[in-house]
Amino acid sequence: MTGTGAGRRRSLPVVIGACGCAALLVLVVGLGIGYLAWEDRSADQPAASGSPSSGAAPAPETESARPFVVLTARDGDELTPEENLEVLRTSPLTGGHLPEVAECPLPTITAAPTAAELQAFLDAGTACYAGLWAQAMSDRNLPWSTPRVEVFAWPQIPTGSACEAPLFEQTSPLMCHLDGVLYWPLGAGHLSALAAEADLPAAYLADLSRALMDAVGWQSSISFYALHYLEASAEDDPARLDAARRYGLQRQCLATTAMLQLPEELHPSDDLWAIFLDEGTWPPEPPASIPAAAVVHWVLVARSTDGALSPCNSWTAYSTDINS
């Protein structure tokens, strides 16, 4: 990816290529939702103006004035902040429906699976989501390549990974775009750590859906448009925090929507829904510190969409649904 300055042209492709969310602001929505890496590596970036007020009411959703263009990590930002925001508000992932998955055969998963058992489960779950996202992306003229999942035992970082060791964490999967592998530490998972054993299949599928949003954001290039938009605001600009939260909440909503397109027998039980809808499940994590009530709100939105994507368009939502 190129930027407006030489330093950005040198550094952004390397950092974005390695990180799971294709950006430079660490954006964690609860544990395991995924992150947009940015803050810690952008201290030298100049401030810019043009971001809308985070408290303003959203503009009505309109059709983009230009065709959507898929970006890559090497593409520069040729748009104004307002134009990037327009793309985010009207992107191919803000309309239509996700397809239903008719069948999703899964192996047994237990509360303390071996690496082989977890690998088999995640491989099967990824295959189910792969069919969904392959069709959804194709329908929108977007590219899709299904990530390969590799389970590993922390702290033994996979030696063959194209991503650097400091990017790996014990409790969170890492989507490495340099080699197309979703690295999953044995024992990682947010909802799967909270669920009863009977609910583990649905809980792991929910965790997996959120992890795969890294690939969706990268391959659709929505992550790149979000990064460009974020770069237009100074670090202390409330609009930057608001935009980072909108990005994360859209991902949460899309991930939950995708999970609910799986066969009904794999949907969360009432007990697992109670965990989903408990604000204590989603402690705000810095730097974005998305309010737990906002996460629950967008889970509820996804629960009522019946596969539709337009309700998940957080870029046109009121600030009260994002920041409180």
Q: Give the mean pLDDT of 153-165.
A: 95
Using the predicted structure, report yes or no on whether residue 54 has a pLDDT greater than 90.
no
Secondary structure of the chain as H, E, C letters: CCCCCHHHHHHHHHHHHHCCCCCECCCCCCCCCCCCECHHHCCCCCCCCCCCCCCCCCCCCCCCCCCCCCCCCCCCCCCCHHHHHHHHHHCHHHCCECCCCCCCCCCCCCCCCCHHHHHHHHHHHHHHHHHHHHHHHHHCCCCCCCCEEEEECCCCCCCCCCCCHHHCCCCCCEEECCCCEEEEECCCCCHHHHCCHHHHHHHHHHHHHHHHHHHHHHHHCHHHHHHHHHHCCCCCCHHHHHHHHHHHHHHHHHHHHHHCCCCHHHCCCHHHHHHHCCHHHCCCCCCCCCCHHHHHHHHHHHHCCCCECHHHCHHHCCCHHHHC
pLDDT in tens, 260-302: 999 999 999 999 999 999 999 999 998 899 999 999 999 999 9
pLDDT in tens, 234-257: 988 999 999 999 999 999 999 999
Encoded tokens for 160: 């063959």
pLDDT in tens, 251-269: 999 999 999 999 999 999 9
| pLDDT at position 73 | 84
Band of pLDDT at residue 65, cut at 50, 70 and 90: low
The C-alpha atoms of residue 291 and residue 223 are separated, in whole angstroms, by 21
pLDDT in tens, 166-213: 999 999 999 999 999 999 999 999 999 999 999 999 999 999 999 999
pTM: 0.82
